Amino acid sequence: MMVGSGGNTRMIKVALVTGGSAGIGLAIVDGFINEGYSVYNLDCHQGVHGHWLKCDVTDMNAIKTAVEYVLANETSIDVLVCNAGIYFSSTIEDTNEEALDRILAINVKGVYNAIRACIPSMRVAKKGSIVLLGSDQCTIAKAKSFAYNLSKHAIASIAKTTAIDYAKYNIRANTVCAGTTETQLYHKALDNYCSRSGEDKNKVHRKEEKLQPLDRIAQPMEIANLVVFLASDKASFITGSLHAIDGGYTTQ
């Protein structure tokens, strides 16, 4: 998008974020807005900031329609952030096919759909930055995390192969490997655990904090700040990389 007055014009960069209505996704949307981007949020749930487009990331046609809408209203898509995802805690024996299909559909196919829809226009423009939201489980394993861990390792792979295949078009792809972050979903998970176990929520939360060398868990905007940096020209020589932002958890 070009804006200006008095003969002076400037380009406003465009960022497309999946799952930008809450938690880390909302912080990412706000982060790009604060940097002057025109931001489109593709989410099934209503977004409060940016331009909200109702979209199920598992549906390729829905993603294509949303991307076509953005390109009809903007000159390009400069940044794609694949944030939409779900968590599922279970061993392989306790993960039925329905649960496996659902987590792979959202966490992996959703990323595939978004990149497939956006990258042709980036290729033509010969520029673009793709940032995928992974987790500390892109590089390590945790107990009772078979399907989720599988999906996050897949995301790391997608970023690496995309970076190699599209470097010649000046398209970068990186993964943000976020650790435990204080969101509504985090508190919901704690509430569910404490409901089952009878443990005190404050004590459980403190245990989570003590697992991190920095003695606390992340705030959503801290993750968003790294995403915005990786998408920017300041990170112009960074591609195919996994960036840990976990308070030192995976260094232990």
What are the pLDDT digits (tens) for 160-169?
Answer: 999 999 999 9
Task: Compute the distance between CA of residue 81 and CA of residue 185 in angstroms, rounded to an integer.
Answer: 19
Measured CA distances, 72 to 49, 51, 69 (Å): 20, 14, 5
User: Given this model, what pLDDT does residue 5 score?
Assistant: 44
Is it true that domain 2-180+219-245 has CATH number 3.40.50.720?
A: yes
Low-confidence spans in the chain with pLDDT less than 70: 1-10
Pairing verdict, β 14-18 and 38-43: parallel
Q: Is 148 a catalytic residue?
A: yes
User: Given this model, what pLDDT does residue 1 score?
Assistant: 56
User: Given this model, what pLDDT does residue 189 score?
Assistant: 87
* 30, containing H or E segment: helix 23-34
DSSP state of 228: H
* Cα three-residue angle 184-144-251, rounded to 5 degrees: 80
User: Given this model, what pLDDT does residue 185 score?
Assistant: 86
| Domain layout of the chain by residue ranges | 2-180+219-245, 182-217
User: Given this model, what pLDDT does residue 3 score?
Assistant: 52
User: Given this model, what pLDDT does residue 11 score?
Assistant: 83
Catalytic one of 148, 166, 186, 249:
148
> Which two three-digit tokens encode residue 229?
């940096």
Tokens 């966490």 belong to which residue?
A: 107
Torsion of CA 21, 22, 28, 30, to 10 degrees: 70
Task: Compute the distance between CA of residue 20 and CA of residue 24 in angstroms, rounded to an integer.
Answer: 8
Q: Which one, of 4, 13, 118, 144, lies nearest residue 57 by Cα?
A: 118
